């Protein structure tokens, strides 16, 4: 791909450096998305539509992933609903024997498409919510009416019998409504709510000052989540990424990199973890040129992260007002 020179295979590490097989493939089908979340981890230079892998190539990638031992694929983005061939892609994932999760903003995907996905064998749906409060949620997403559309799609998923996860990225603007978001998930009859601390990559890094919550609020939120887990045990699963040990706000985004998961970008670059392309100096191979097995076992980008824990931690900026302006992601 332009700007992504192929690493020199002569310098690739020996095969015996390889670790356990990955279990999860994150398939970033597109960077297109109708929303513009300021915490988006997509790169500032989004990969254009004309570079996206076609459905036949995704089918090959899924088959190669299954051969590696991958059990699950997360159909992600951007908004995967922007792909007209999404149902075909999901069907290919099922044909490869992978359990499939649709990771969606809930906007830009029709309920009819969701039904088609269900018929194609989709296993689960994860809908992201910016907030439990509709007005704030729409402000964060940069799109009026987004909350209602998300609510409608999540409701339809449950009606179809698809297990639903409510995904929430926690940051300064919504950290006070942790409990309300669990209530929202319960109202939607979700199986799970997953809180992720904002991770400062891509657009989130650009908006770091406006997104970072104050340390006292983080400590309170951590305690609140734990109390909610206890209170709702057996009713709904509540997952949360670990907040920064030194400060707060950044999950352990390189944990398991290249080992238990891997990600493929819309144009086919293979990353040891989502958004690894924000790490300076790494070069990534492309599934258009090489098999997934060869890339994972021998490419330097994967070797660089094997066995590495969280490397990126952010300090809390001081003196930033709660209503600091966002730079919205736009494609």
Q: Name the residues that contact ligand SF4, by CB under 6 A.
A: 33, 35-37, 40, 42, 77-79, 105, 128, 329
Q: Nearest approach, Cβ of 241 to ligand SF4 (angstroms)?
A: 15
Q: Which is nearer to ligand SF4, 28 or 244 (CB)?
A: 28
Does a cis peptide bond (omega within 30 degrees of 0) precede residue 239?
Answer: no
Q: Nearest approach, Cβ of 204 to ligand SF4 (angstroms)?
A: 9
Q: Which is nearer to ligand SF4, 22 or 77 (CB)?
A: 77
Q: Which is nearer to ligand SF4, 278 or 292 (CB)?
A: 278
Q: Which is nearer to ligand SF4, 96 or 114 (CB)?
A: 114
Q: Which is nearer to ligand SF4, 199 or 297 (CB)?
A: 199
Q: Nearest approach, Cβ of 63 to ligand SF4 (angstroms)?
A: 26
Q: Which is nearer to ligand SF4, 103 or 259 (CB)?
A: 103
Q: Nearest approach, Cβ of 236 to ligand SF4 (angstroms)?
A: 22
Q: Nearest approach, Cβ of 115 to ligand SF4 (angstroms)?
A: 22
Q: Nearest approach, Cβ of 158 to ligand SF4 (angstroms)?
A: 20
Q: Nearest approach, Cβ of 246 to ligand SF4 (angstroms)?
A: 25
Q: Which is nearer to ligand SF4, 35 or 222 (CB)?
A: 35
Per the document, the length of the chain is 331
């Amino acid at each position: 791909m332009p700007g992504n020179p192929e690493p020199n295979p002569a310098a690739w590490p020996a095969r015996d450096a390889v670790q356990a097989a990955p279990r999860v493939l994150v398939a970033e089908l597109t960077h297109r998305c109708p929303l513009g979340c300021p915490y988006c981890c997509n790169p500032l230079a989004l990969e254009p539509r004309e570079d996206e892998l076609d459905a036949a190539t995704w089918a090959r990638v899924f088959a190669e992933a299954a051969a590696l031992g991958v059990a699950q694929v997360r159909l992600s983005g951007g908004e995967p609903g922007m792909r007209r061939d999404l149902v075909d892609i999901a069907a290919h994932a099922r044909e490869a024997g992978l359990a499939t999760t649709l990771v969606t903003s809930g906007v830009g995907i029709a309920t009819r498409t969701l039904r088609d996905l269900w018929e194609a064998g989709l296993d689960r749906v994860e809908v992201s919510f910016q907030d439990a409060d509709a007005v704030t949620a729409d402000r964060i997403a940069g799109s009026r009416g987004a909350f209602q559309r998300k609510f409608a799609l999540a409701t339809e998923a449950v009606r179809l019998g698809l297990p639903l996860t409510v995904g929430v990225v926690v940051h300064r603007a919504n950290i006070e409504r942790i409990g309300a978001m669990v209530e929202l998930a319960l109202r939607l009859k979700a199986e799970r709510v997953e809180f992720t601390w904002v991770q400062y990559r891509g657009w989130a890094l650009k908006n770091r000052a406006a997104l970072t919550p104050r340390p006292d609020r983080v400590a309170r939120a951590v305690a609140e989540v734990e109390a909610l887990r206890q209170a709702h045990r057996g009713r709904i699963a509540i997952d949360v990424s670990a907040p920064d040990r030194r400060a707060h706000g950044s999950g352990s985004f390189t944990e398991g990199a290249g080992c238990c998961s891997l990600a493929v970008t819309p144009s086919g670059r293979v990353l040891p973890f989502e958004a690894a392309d924000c790490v300076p100096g790494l070069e990534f191979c492309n599934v258009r040129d090489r098999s997934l097995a060869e890339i994972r076992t021998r490419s330097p980008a994967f070797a660089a992260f094997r066995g590495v824990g969280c490397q990126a931690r952010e300090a809390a900026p001081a003196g930033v007002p709660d209503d600091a302006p966002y730079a919205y992601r736009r494609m």
